[in-house]
A and B are shown apart, each in its own frame.
Chain A
């Protein structure tokens, strides 16, 4: 049981936009920055966004992060078949003094 809640799967057509939600609480998302990761099976996770909405160099602006209250959202526009992967949200939980992750969302590009 993950501290952060994500949908198990989402899907959309190539070229479309998709959003992935991440729900937490006042002790984690509500007071700390959120990061999003992309993981292609068989490879390590890759940081997509951090500090809620910042992108590391090299990450295209098709990927965007946002946060409102105790929830965060990853948006992906102009979907490509190469975007098929598992996506994880993560943040710090101030009550647990721990890094916490969502259970992951599998994106299928139909």
Chain B
């Protein structure tokens, strides 16, 4: 059974860089699956916002509204992919999810999700 687990600091200071990692375990690996893997965030009580998606080959798509501050990368040796969001503000305080696309296209829906990690931006 596939599992995705987000990890990283729950508190980041304003203007600093938020760094999160998603570890994939179970029935799949990032490289052999040939799928896209993504990050989505959700402010408490609000809707979903896609941040970006990556394929192990290096193909990456970013949300244009965040693109200048976002970097998504993959480490196939650890079966992990990561999110870095720079110059954070209070508006970046939200729940962050990692998820797997259903098939080899960022156009496909997300069929497996991590439990989410709440990150607060505060001094």
Contacts and interface: CB of A to CB of B under 8 A. Distances in A.
Interface of A: 2, 32-33, 35, 37, 43-47, 50-51, 56, 88, 90-92, 96-104
Interface stretch (B9-17, B20-28, B44-52, B83-91): B44-52
Contacts, number: 66
Contacts of A97: 61
Nearest to A33: B107
Contacts of A92: 106-107
Interface of B: 38, 40, 47-50, 53, 61-64, 97, 99, 102, 106-111, 113-116
A35 B109 contact: yes
B22 to A, nearest CB: 12
A51 B116 CA distance: 25
Contact of A56 (B107, B111, B116): B111
A60 to B, nearest CB: 17
A101 B111 contact: no
A88 B48 CA distance: 8
B110 A98 contact: no
A101 B50 contact: yes
A8 to B, nearest CB: 11
Given A44-B97, A44-B116, A92-B106, A98 B111 contact: no
